[in-house]
């Protein structure tokens, strides 16, 4: 369920004349159907809209968070969200530009549907006249026979149009090719929009701009089958200023599930945002007003060393996803690691997560600290390790190591951890067997 405290604190910025004006200022609209019609539609009577999330993993990630926050802004404007988790499309997966997806078992996908539904419901209000409604496309695709699917849905799709979709075109021109299974994905997503239009009067779908071909499959299907126009909004793919894909760290997604990405790692991810990226991130991922974001933008230009924008971003997004308590624990852990707090007072799971993010090693209880400096990469040799200790630059759990013969014995924190530091900023984690 959604966090009632966080939900209650959220609001759109009254400085904007309409929600459309705000989402465009925040950079949430990369491509859309008719913009003038959408602005008028969203400023009028409440509409029903949806976004789909496929259970191709046990958690949503930061790319999905963009969609959830766009959905929340539309909900705050009075519109009714449908959160679709794809129990059927998740069995197939949308075509990637590079290669065929690995198909997960039906039991795995069904389990992940539950996980994702729980996550979606955390970010959208479940109360009031426009409370979120969760739907699963397996409910309307499972009863369909292949013949009914081909006759009642497939007849509206033109193969020439389907071949022009970006993901399909990229795969057709690759060595991997594309299976009929993934080629048909856009038909299934189009069917979703048609079903939600017929059942709920849904007239808008949102998704990433890389899904634009799938989004327009739905608008085209409704136009052909129902003779009416509906809308779609494609959000930009968020990339860093250096062109790298946003939300990736050494090839791994930044997950919303704290078991996959700890609140400490999540907080540090945002804290390390580049000056060139921090203001766009504040626009997309926080509910701060335009005036507050512009104040932070001025500080980035005049006093970048303060990193107030980054600290604000890290606080806002980590609190949104993991709650204020977990955010404070992450901040306290970072401070204690660098000698600005008591390590023994930290929550054990937070400390362990923080140490896992550092260079680390597992060792015996009597291991020499000099050797651990080498094992963790804090020094390149034992002679350098001994020299650093002699110069007073090595700390274990923020206590200076006085002898190059010292071991970790007697200095282990609850849980079997220790923090090794060389100088002011170079850290490593020690895990005792």
Please write the tens of the pLDDT for every residue from 298-313.
999 999 999 999 999 9
384-418 burial, b at 16+ Cβ within 10 Å, e below that, comes to ebbebbeeeebbbbeeebeebebbbeebbbeeebb
Query: d(Cα 75, Cα 126) in Å, to the nearest integer?
Result: 11
Query: d(Cα 214, Cα 187) in Å, to the nearest integer?
Result: 8
Q: Give how far Cα 104 sits from Cα of 45, 124, 129, 256, 400, Å.
A: 41, 28, 37, 21, 51
230: left (phi over 0), alpha (psi -120 to 50) or beta: beta
**Fold of the domain built from segment(s) 358-433:** 3.10.290
Name the pLDDT band for 42 (thresholds 50, 70, 90).
very high
Q: Is 90 exceeded by the pLDDT of residue 153? A: yes
Q: Which CATH number fits domain 239-347: 3.40.50.300, 3.20.20.10, 1.10.240.10, 3.30.470.20?
A: 1.10.240.10
Q: Please tell me the CATH superfamily of domain 4-237, with its number.
A: HUPs (3.40.50.620)
pLDDT digits (tens, 9 = 90+) for 214-262: 999 999 999 999 999 999 999 998 887 777 776 544 456 899 999 999 9
For CATH 1.10.240.10, the residue range(s) in the chain are: 239-347
For CATH 3.10.290.10, the residue range(s) in the chain are: 358-433
pLDDT digits (tens, 9 = 90+) for 195-227: 999 999 999 999 999 889 899 999 999 999 999
For 65-198, list the strands marked E by DSSP: 80-85, 133-136
Helix pair 275-285, 308-322: axis angle to 10 deg: 40
For CATH 3.40.50.620, the residue range(s) in the chain are: 4-237
Query: d(Cα 139, Cα 34) in Å, to the nearest integer?
Result: 31
Q: Give how far Cα 14 sits from Cα of 11, 22, 120, 289, Å.
A: 9, 9, 26, 9
Say what the pTM is. 0.91
């Amino acid at each position: 369920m959604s966090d009632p405290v966080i939900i209650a604190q959220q609001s759109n910025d009254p400085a904007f004349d309409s929600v459309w004006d705000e989402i465009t200022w925040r950079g949430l609209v990369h491509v859309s159907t008719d913009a003038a019609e959408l602005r008028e539609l969203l400023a009028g009577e409440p509409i029903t809209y949806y976004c789909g999330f496929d259970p191709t993993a046990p958690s949503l990630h930061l790319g999905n968070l963009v969609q959830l926050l766009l959905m929340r802004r539309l909900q705050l404007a009075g519109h009714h969200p449908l959160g679709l988790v794809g129990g059927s499309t998740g069995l197939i997966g949308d075509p990637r530009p590079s290669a065929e997806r690995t198909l997960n078992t039906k039991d795995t996908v069904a389990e992940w549907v539950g996980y994702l539904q729980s996550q979606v419901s955390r970010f959208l209000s479940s109360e009031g006249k426009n409370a979120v409604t969760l739907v699963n496309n397996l409910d309307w695709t499972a009863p369909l026979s292949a013949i009914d699917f081909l006759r009642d849905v497939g007849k509206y799709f033109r193969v020439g149009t389907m071949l022009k979709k970006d993901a399909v075109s990229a795969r057709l021109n690759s060595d991997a090719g594309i299976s009929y299974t993934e080629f048909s994905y856009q038909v299934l997503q189009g069917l979703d929009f048609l079903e939600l239009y017929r059942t709920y009067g849904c007239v808008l779908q949102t998704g990433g701009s890389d899904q634009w071909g799938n989004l327009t499959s739905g608008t085209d299907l409704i136009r052909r089958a129902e003779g009416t126009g509906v809308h779609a909004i494609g959000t930009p793919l968020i990339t860093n200023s250096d062109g790298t894909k946003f939300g990736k760290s050494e090839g791994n997604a930044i997950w919303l599930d704290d078991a996959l990405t700890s609140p400490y790692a999540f907080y540090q991810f945002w804290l390390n945002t580049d000056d060139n990226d921090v203001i766009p991130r504040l626009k997309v991922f926080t509910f701060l007003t335009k005036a507050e974001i512009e104040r932070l933008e001025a500080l980035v230009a005049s006093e970048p060393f303060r990193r107030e924008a980054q600290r604000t971003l890290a606080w806002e997004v980590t609190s949104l996803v993991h709650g204020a308590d977990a955010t404070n624990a992450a901040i306290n852990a970072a401070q204690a690691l660098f000698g600005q707090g008591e390590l023994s007072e930290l929550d054990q799971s937070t400390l362990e997560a923080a140490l896992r993010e550092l260079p680390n090693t597992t060792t015996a209880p009597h291991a020499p600290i000099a050797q651990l400096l080498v094992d963790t990469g804090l020094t390149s040799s034992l002679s350098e390790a001994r020299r650093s200790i002699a110069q007073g630059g090595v700390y274990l759990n923020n206590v200076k190591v006085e002898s190059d013969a010292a071991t970790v014995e007697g200095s282990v924190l609850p849980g079997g951890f220790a923090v090794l530091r060389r100088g002011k900023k170079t850290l490593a984690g020690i895990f005792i067997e």
